[in-house]
Structure 1
Amino acid sequence: MKKIILMAILTGSVVTNGVAQARGSLGVNDPKAKSILDNVSKKFSTLKSVVANFVLKVEGANNSVTDSKKGTVYLKGAKYKVNLDGQEIISDNKTSWTYAKDANEVTINNVDQNSTALTPAKLFTNFYDKDYLYRLDGESNEKGKILENIEMTPTDKSKNIFKVIVSVDKKNQSISRMKVYEKNGNHYTYEITSFTPNTNLTDATFVFDAKKYPGVEVVDLR
């Protein structure tokens, strides 16, 4: 379950029914939704780095809550690091490391530049133009924030994910929440609780240093 939780963020695996399916069959995107997403992407491109805290809630079919975790994501360009309850996923955009604390094991892979996986870095860029169809699904007032909710469906219908709802803070033009829906009835809510831009992050943040993990078992799949 822990691995499922963390990978839910990273594989878009963090991105239908009725109207959405009809819209998708026509291949038409909503210009209002595009404008909102473009503004988020444009704002993020001006930032040198980001540190964001989040809560990830996993719910099974029939809205049964099965797990909830707190985590932190560090972003610098296409590089990222995610800390989540004894797990770490690190990428310098060439190599990725997935570390499991309970097993003291790290798995190393090459980064597939052609992958459509929704990584934390992609979440704040214009990934949506290539891999998703999207429409504005109204606004909601939550905890004093006006959220613009955008429904997204993958163009690749073979994906396990069939729908993603991205909620954008209308005032700050930043992503506040993402809900990922799987075909098996499970869904994941990725909610950002704090967002700190332009933090001083060195490139070493985005490389796994085995010396800091005594006795770590390395599984190199490159």
Structure 2
Amino acid sequence: MKKLTTLLFAGLLAFNMNAQEDAKAKEILDKLSAKTKSYSSIKADFQYSMINKSDGLNETQTGKIEIKGNSYFLTIQGQDIISDGKTIWTHIKESEEVQINSVSEDDDEGISPNKIFTLYETGFKYKFVEEKNNIQTVNLYPKDPEAKAYHRISIMIDKVKQQITEVTMFGKDGTQSNYKIKSFTPNTAISDSHFTFNKSKYPSVEIIDLRD
């Protein structure tokens, strides 16, 4: 009887600890969401790394992103990727071509650039991990894991600034994709026209329309 009571107590303790951790994670993410939604726009410089030890993959790039609502302008690895929320223009500078695609509602492979700072809001369970030096870590687990190419996303949040400092996606194939925010500037005035490709600025580019 004593052993059974001990086991029941241990089980209840574990349940309560998980409940507290989930509640803490929710509190952190709710504060982060409220702060992020208060911004009219976001500009950020970041470092992107992709590592897969079994495949000998270890690549690092730097990039810049500007976000306004569902629109974004991403610059990375000789490309400008521009979206107004409905259409995506990928300007590959070296080959002087622009590929046009429609925005997909479902992106199972990775994180849509305009959602890097708000990806936690839908489709995830979450768990508080730790807090060190005012940096809070929360793990996200997809509610529909079979439909995703990753099994976990870890986000690190500056507790004082209420801003994401780092995001790491853990792929099912062993690949880790990491975004480390180097600078973060909110509420910069950005024209809506900035989020469409202006062909008149690049008259020599080839336009490849891949939309259905």
Q: TM-score, normalised by structure 2?
A: 0.81
Bigger Cα Rg: 2
Render the CA deviation track for 1:35-91: whole Å, top value 9, x for unaligned: 211211111111111111101112122696621111111011111111012112111
1:54 counterpart residue number: 46
Given the alignment of the two structures, is residue 135 of structure 1 paired with residue 127 of structure 2, yes or no? Answer: yes
Match of 1:178 among 156, 160, 167: 167
Partner Cα separation in structure 1 for residue 83 and residue 100 of structure 2: 10
Match of 2:135 among 138, 147, 158: 147
Q: Do 2:84 and 2:195's aligned partners in 1 also have CA atoms closer than 8 Å? A: yes
Q: Tell me, what secondary structure is at the counterpart of 2:122?
A: helix
1:30 counterpart residue number: 22
Which amino acid counterpart does residue 35 of structure 2 have in structure 1? K
Which amino acid counterpart does residue 76 of structure 2 have in structure 1? L
Q: CA RMSD in A?
A: 2.3
Partner Cα separation in structure 2 for residue 169 and residue 65 of structure 1: 29
Partner Cα separation in structure 1 for residue 208 and residue 180 of structure 2: 31
Which amino acid counterpart does residue 166 of structure 1 have in structure 2? I
Given the alignment of the two structures, is residue 189 of structure 1 paired with residue 181 of structure 2, yes or no? Answer: no
Which amino acid counterpart does residue 153 of structure 1 have in structure 2? Y
Residue 128 of structure 1: how far off its partner (Å):
2.8
Q: Do 1:89 and 1:99's aligned partners in 2 also have CA atoms closer than 8 Å? A: yes
Residue 114 of structure 1: how far off its partner (Å):
5.8
Render the CA deviation track for 1:141-172: whole Å, top value 9, x for unaligned: 3xxxx211111122222321111100001111
Q: TM-score, normalised by structure 1?
A: 0.77
Which amino acid counterpart does residue 190 of structure 1 have in structure 2? Y
Between the aligned residues of both structures, percent identity stands at 36
Match of 2:37 among 45, 54, 69: 45
Structure 1 residue runs of 5 or longer lacking an equivalent are 1-22, 24-28
Match of 1:213 among 177, 196, 202: 202
Match of 1:119 among 112, 124, 149: 112
Q: Do 1:57 and 1:65's aligned partners in 2 also have CA atoms closer than 8 Å? A: no
Which amino acid counterpart does residue 72 of structure 1 have in structure 2? K
Which amino acid counterpart does residue 32 of structure 1 have in structure 2? K
> Would you say how many aligned residue pairs link Structure 1 and Structure 2?
190
Match of 2:64 among 72, 79, 83: 72
Structure 2 residue runs of 5 or longer lacking an equivalent are 1-14, 16-20
Q: Tell me, what secondary structure is at the counterpart of 2:35?
A: helix
Residue 212 of structure 1: how far off its partner (Å):
2.0
